[in-house]
């Protein structure tokens, strides 16, 4: 599972990077959303620490 999670994480990051470059070159729109996006992804896969 860890290998699959790493692959999925890499694809998620690559996709966001590609979106940023193609849709807003030189901008920071996607970069501003990165922390929230990573938190949502980690929450979805159950990788965030509990309260």
pLDDT tens column, 2-38: 567 667 777 877 887 888 788 877 878 777 888 888 8
> Does residue 49 sit within a domain?
no
Residues 15, 9 contacting (CB under 8 angstroms): no
In SS3 terms, the chain reads as CHHHHHHHHHHHHHHHHHHHHHHCCCCCHHHHHHHHHHHHHHHHCCCCCCC
Domain count of the chain? 1
> Does residue 51 sit within a domain?
no
Q: What is the C-alpha separation between 30 and 32, in angstroms, rounded?
A: 5
Instruction: State the pLDDT confidence band at 1, using cuts at 50, 70 and 90.
Output: very low
Question: pLDDT at position 2, please?
Answer: 57
Question: pLDDT at position 43, please?
Answer: 83
Question: pLDDT at position 28, please?
Answer: 80
Residue-number span of the structural domain to which 23 is assigned: 2-44
> Does residue 22 sit within a domain?
yes
Question: pLDDT at position 50, please?
Answer: 66
């Amino acid at each position: 599972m860890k290998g699959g999670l790493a692959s999925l994480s890499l694809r998620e990051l690559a996709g966001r990077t590609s979106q940023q470059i193609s849709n807003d070159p030189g901008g920071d729109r996607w970069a501003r959303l990165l922390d929230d996006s990573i938190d949502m992804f980690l929450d979805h896969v159950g990788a965030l620490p509990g309260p």
